[in-house]
Amino acid sequence: MALRRSSRIATTIASTTKQAARSAVFTATSPLSSLSPDPDDKPRPTKRKRNNVKADAASGEDDESAPTTQKRTRRRRSPPPEPTPDDFAPRVENRWKIGPHVSSSGGVENSVINAAAVGANAFAIFLKSQRKWESNALKEESVTKFKARMKAFGYSPSHVLPHGSYLVNLGNPDKEKREKSYACFVDDLKRCEELGLQLYNFHPGSTVGAATIEQSMALIAECINRAHKETEYAVIVLENMAGAGNIVGSRFSELGDIIRQVDDKTRVGVCLDTCHMFAAGYDITTKDGWAATMAEFERDVGLSYLRGMHINDSKAPLASKKDRHENIGLGHLGLRTFAHILSDPRTRDMPLILETPAYDAPVGKEKLAWEGMGVWRTEVSVLNRLSGCCSSPLEAEDETPARPAREGEGEIGESEYEGWREEVHEAVKTASKARDAKGRKVDGAGKKARKGKRRKGDEEDAEDEDDDSCGEDH
């Protein structure tokens, strides 16, 4: 009996000893042990520190001798230097102000640089995305830079012809839709004035098959009158159209009828597009044809309302009613047509804007035309040489030299025309290997290249990149 009692006591003591040992192990390994007031109790080092200790031990280095790693600071990229006129070839001095519809991607201020890069004396731009009803407001910094660059590069506000949105239809008889167009239209006019520009070009509109031409013309005039009251000085410039479908404005008489219904006639004008005129049936390919066309314009509208022109060749034949722009000299109009247009003093000192296929586009992170734009650069050069080259009775009355004399001054021979045409053709041929007519990259087979992923920071600029230059078939 005494033996059994002593055995039970021994078993109890052993069990108590095991539990105490387990408790000691748990206390040593438990994360709660870090809360112990024991000064010798240290928290377990982090995984990264343990790994560093192991690496130091493997390399035989002491913790104390190991160099401390400093956080790497990212260096901020300094802004590029401000472009100056000295960065580009000098522009030709010419009374005929020729230039393309350039990109304003990356900020409206970039349009000035893009114009200078191709030797332009005039240019056109979109004031916002022409494919959206609403766009972000112009940045104050962009407006300031635009005005500063206009002055630095010697561009006159009267030689810039902004183009309106393709969405706007002021002739739509549906009031709700017309009001949506009107809001977009007035926003553009206010942007013009914010930039200090004087002209604003737009397509008059369409009956959409739901109204007569007369009704739509009255609606367009009514919108112009309203817009004049909401703005200060911008001149609204109606563009003649090719005549397809229910479009208003293919005949000069229609433009004249709209203008007659406008109250403030000092703030309305017309832009004549050579491709549209030809497509609408005005044969301007000869001197006599051009003279007859201008006589009709004087009768139905008035030459005092001519505020600019779009200088485009045509892929489509006479009276086709198809609006298909072609590069200068490569279409149905040919170089001779532009020779007599650019020898007419009535087309001086106004923006003469190329809307021909561009093929190439501005490059680089700043989206400036330091490279590329070879087609427009060539077309501007050829048109400058053409201007003032043909004799005209009106030219003889004005003794002011219109441009520097060209070598072998006089009537242009067929070989000279062919040489200039070949210059444009070669520029197009070279540029089209890398890009299509809208400036989009293509692969070796001439197919549109796949786009990479757009970065988040580029979303704001993307609004302006959507068919930003006007070198396209409308």
Residues designated as active site: 131, 163, 166, 203, 239, 273, 276, 310, 323, 325, 355
How many other C-beta atoms lie within 10 A of the C-beta of residue 156?
13
Q: For residue 240, what is the enclosing H or E element? A: none
Q: In residues, how long is the chain? A: 474
What DSSP letter does each residue of 87-98 carry, written as one string?
Answer: GSPPPPP-SSEE
Q: How far apart are CA 278 and CA 200, in angstroms?
A: 23
Phi, psi of 97 (to 5 degrees): -90, 95
CA dihedral 136, 140, 141, 146 (to 10 degrees): 90
DSSP state of 30: -
Q: Are strands 247-248 and 205-206 parallel, antiparallel or unpaired?
A: antiparallel
Q: For residue 382, what is the enclosing H or E element? A: helix 374-386
Tokens of 408: 């072998």
The gap between the terminal CA atoms of the chain, to the nearest Å, is 115
Could you tell me the sign of the dihedral formed by the alpha carbons of 44, 47, 50, 52, in that order?
negative
Check: CB of residue 327 under 8 Å from CB of residue 428: yes
Tokens of 141: 């910094």
Which 3-state string (H, E, C) describes 263-296? CCHHHEEEEEEHHHHHHCCCCCCCHHHHHHHHHH
Q: How far apart are CA 221 and CA 355, in angstroms?
A: 26
Q: How far apart are CA 101 and CA 122, in angstroms?
A: 9
Q: How far apart are CA 275 and CA 354, in angstroms?
A: 11
Q: How far apart are CA 300 and CA 74, in angstroms?
A: 66
404 three-class SS = coil
Sheet holding 268-273, edge to edge: 97-100, 351-354, 306-310, 268-273, 235-239, 199-202
